[in-house]
Chains A and B, each alone.
Chain A
Amino acid sequence: MTPERKKLGYWDLLKSWVLWSFYSQACYNYERMQASGFAHSMIPIIKKLYTTKEDISAALKRHLVFFNTEPNVGAMIHGITAAMEEERANDQPITDEAINSVKTGLMGPLAGIGDTLSQGTVTPILLALGIGLAKDGNLFGPVIYILLEAAVIWGIGYFMFFRGYKLGRTAVERLLEGGLVKDLITGAGIVGATVIGALTASFVGLSTPITITVGQQVVKLQADFFDKIMPQLLPLALTLGVWWLLNRRKSPIAIMGYLVLVGLVGSLLKVF
């Protein structure tokens, strides 16, 4: 007898989207950005699909990793992830790596599209409309702005989330049929790692104002030395250093403590 297929319903998905819309950035932070927001939004999905404590715990941990995207266009990732979780819960061979790679590979590009679309295009245009009216003291300006902005932003988020779920299911099903799961994992892993490398350069910031005087010559350590070897060398070294510590089984909390301490002492001593 085959076990009954676990299936997500419309309300599970809607709940997930609403939770994400509310709390994506409730705990926004530099270390893992929207990680807890993502995990939070997956709770209705996780509760529907998994029953044992172990499975629920593993799923929560799976979604507590570094995540950052534009919340509305990026909601497509949540739809796809929900579809992948559904397959996984039905004993398809979808690993943590596969899910994480898909999320990581998509979050940057969708953030780029989303920021350009929502923050860069829609919002300024609607604001210009509202400001134009408000400048003459017309209070309909702000009201119109709020109504249009909410309709567009929520509209984008809803559409992308459900589109992602539909797309994710079909895409995942096709891959499973062709036995292409390994390819998916390898491919998504490559895309994910590449994006992560780029994020290291764009997100992590570290530089030094130290200057060394050699005789008559003043050498700026950052501009004349580090930048000459490679731009963003210090952020790269820092990230690889943290990665090395993690591989040495140091706890993330301890590492966070080190980082805060190094940053504090370093900036007081004018090293950074």
Chain B
Amino acid sequence: MQITVFQAALIALFYYLAQSPWLMGMGYWTLYRPLIAGVVVGIILGNPTQGAIIGASINLIYLGFISAGGSLPGDPALAGYVGTALAIGSGIDVNAALALAVPIGLLGGLIWFGRMTLDAIFVHWADRYAEQGNTAGVAFANIVPPQILLFVICFVPAFLAVLYGPPAVKGAIDFLGAKVFHILIVIGGMLPALGIAMNFRSIGKGQTLPFFFLGFLLFVYLKLSIIGIAAFAVVFAFVYMHLHKGGMKSDA
């Protein structure tokens, strides 16, 4: 079947909604999953049952999908929406759709990197509003500009991919792939240094610097989890304070 412009736009809109905050945070837990994406695309294209079956198959790849610490191993939602649309639209079978879904998921990773990098700009807008004591401004900076950005970078690629089909998807991946991907990964890796350093500066008045190193070393050498490191830190904090007080109070 031929996918119309309207149908493609609708599918792309749902892909955006999956990543947007508008469903009280529930987008990520529902629309983001290929299972739901498949049904939605199925309904839009007039075949919900087939959509559900294809979405369920794609979702199997991402069953163990976890996004922790803001890093995404691919994008199940893009794989779900575009994969299902291509499978129903181009009449390719479920397995071929699965084969396409994985690289599409990678392309989605690029959207994620772009968003996570560019959104850093708007936090600085929020800083400026905070300086003025403008609560509405902080709320604005948190929602409006990042969502406009997110809408554009989600809607456009999904729309084009659904409308122009498998060749478009492959072309886009080949064209953007290696280089742009790499630059964004490098910058995306470096930016947390700023946020972390800013936070440390607001905690660290010199005396906590050794503990900063301690946390770092526990992670790289002992490979402890963050929970484990925090548990150790609590013990260290108790010991530290006990020793500190011991000099002044004998009953401590």
Contact = CB atoms under 8 A, between A and B. Distances in A.
Is B one of A's binding partners?
A: yes
B139 to A, nearest CB: 5
Given A187-B241, A197-B212, A266-B186, A64 B123 contact: yes
Interface string B118-150: 111011101101111101001101110111000
Nearest to B188: A30
Nearest to A39: B138
B21 A235 contact: no
B50 to A, nearest CB: 8
B70 interface: yes
B138 A36 contact: yes
A33 B205 CA distance: 23
Given A30-B188, A145-B36, A192 B69 contact: no
Contacts of B138: 36, 39-40, 43, 60, 64
A263 B119 contact: no
B86 interface: no
Interface in B217-240: 217-221, 224-227, 229-234, 236-238, 240
Interface residues of A, number: 115
Contact of A236 (B22, B39, B117, B216): B216
B191 A256 contact: yes
Most buried by A among B28, B126, B142, B233: B142
Interface string A200-234: 11111110000000000000000000000011100
B35 A145 contact: yes
A260 B67 CA distance: 24
A111 B69 contact: yes
A155 interface: no
B2 interface: no
Contact of A61 (B60, B130, B215): B130
A137 B120 CA distance: 43
Contacts of A89: none
Q: How would you classify the secondary structure of chain B's contact residues: helix, strand, loop or mixed?
A: helix
Interface residues of B, number: 110
Contacts of A192: 203, 208
Given A200-B193, A203-B196, A259-B190, A71 B227 contact: no
Contacts of A120: 66
A30 B33 CA distance: 23
5 contacts: A21-B24, A23-B21, A31-B123, A64-B126, A267-B187
Interface of A: 18, 21-33, 35-37, 39-40, 43, 46-47, 53-54, 56-57, 60-61, 64-66, 68, 71, 96-97, 100-101, 104-105, 108-109, 111-113, 115, 119-120, 123-124, 127-128, 130-131, 134-135, 137-139, 141-142, 145-146, 149-150, 153-154, 157, 183, 186-206, 230-232, 235-236, 238-243, 246-247, 252-253, 255-256, 259-260, 262-264, 266-268, 272
